Amino acid sequence: MTWLVTGGAGYIGAHVVRAFEAKGIGTVVVDDLSSGRRAFVPAGVPFVQASILDGPALEAAIAEHGVTGVVHLAGFKYAGVSVQRPLHTYQQNVTGMATLLAAMEHGGVEQIVFSSSAAVFGTPDVDLVTEDTPKHPESPYGESKLIGEWLLADQARATGLKHTSLRYFNVVGSGSTEVFDASPHNLFPLVFDALLEGRTPRINGDDYATPDGTCVRDYIHVADLAAAHVVAAERLAAGEPVEAAYNLGSGDGVSVGQIMRTVADVTGIAFEPEIGPRRIGDPARIVATGERAARDLDWRMRHSLEQMVESAWQARNAAS
């Protein structure tokens, strides 16, 4: 059994590869290195540098490595930037998915775990998001992820494809000092970079209807996320039933203010964050239940907030 991990040289993808390898399940990585890093791929794991839009390269990788399943993480993931680059976003995330599914059908690969997103929900009007919460994506990125889920459902009806989609919320931390979050848009790297450069981290709004006035979000550790991918793949391979989609959430939120205080404690760098105005469209709270994933995918929060921050900080420093 060998699983193709698209985007396996990225922050999340590299953790997924390590989780598969730890269970003795072979992987092969396809990544164009547009945002991933070759050094993130463990030694000994076959690596193919190719775009998700390159159908012949995908077909060749599937055939050469005897691929039996796919974890699909490759794509353009920046929700805010997607508003300025909608065509690029749809090309990478929608055309890319269609190209991958065609290559899978050509190679007789009948199971896939898809990296979806909480962005499919937009700004929910409920305190706790479930899988059945109405979908109202508010960016081309969120729309493209929802279309990806639709494509899987359509292909399943047509060919019997076995699939599940994992909707992530705020992924943080590190399971290896060799892999860190280098995104220019995510909270942890933004805060760490500011501290390392002698700048003061910033909070966008402190007058929300939350316990400390700052936005509440659902933060999950990347290693917990990776472990859920492995269980999902194992269930698909064993022919066990899975839901079409799972929310990977904590069921409990953490405020941006709490994050800042924990970062100060963990790093030993005392600071009072600057307070800026609210960002347009930022909801006060987005938190999801992970009950279905707990039932089927052994999903649980194995790391505290302190462990999330500490592991991310250690990985960031190891990269310096």
Q: At what angle do helices 96-107 and 55-64 cross, to 10 degrees?
A: 40
Q: How far apart are CA 173 and CA 225, in angstroms?
A: 11
Select from 3, 48, 24, 21 the least CA-distant residue to 175. 21
The region that residue 308 occupies, defined by phi over 0 for left and psi between -120 and 50 for alpha, beta otherwise, is alpha
In sequence order, the 6+-apart residues with CB closer than 8 A to the CB of 5 are 13, 16, 17, 20, 27, 28, 29, 30, 70, 71, 73
Query: Does 141 qualify as catalytic in the annotation?
Result: yes
- Inter-residue contact 72 to 93 (CB < 8 Å): no
- Inter-residue contact 140 to 117 (CB < 8 Å): no
**Catalytic residue of the set 11, 78, 90, 141:** 141
Q: How far apart are CA 30 and CA 70, in angstroms?
A: 11
* Residue 184 φ/ψ, nearest 5 degrees: -80, 0
- Inter-residue contact 69 to 233 (CB < 8 Å): yes
Select from 96, 229, 252, 253 the least CA-distant residue to 175. 229
Q: How far apart are CA 297 and CA 192, in angstroms?
A: 32
Angstrom distances, CA of residue 121 to CA of 61, 128, 168, 186: 34, 12, 11, 19
As annotated, the active-site residues are 141
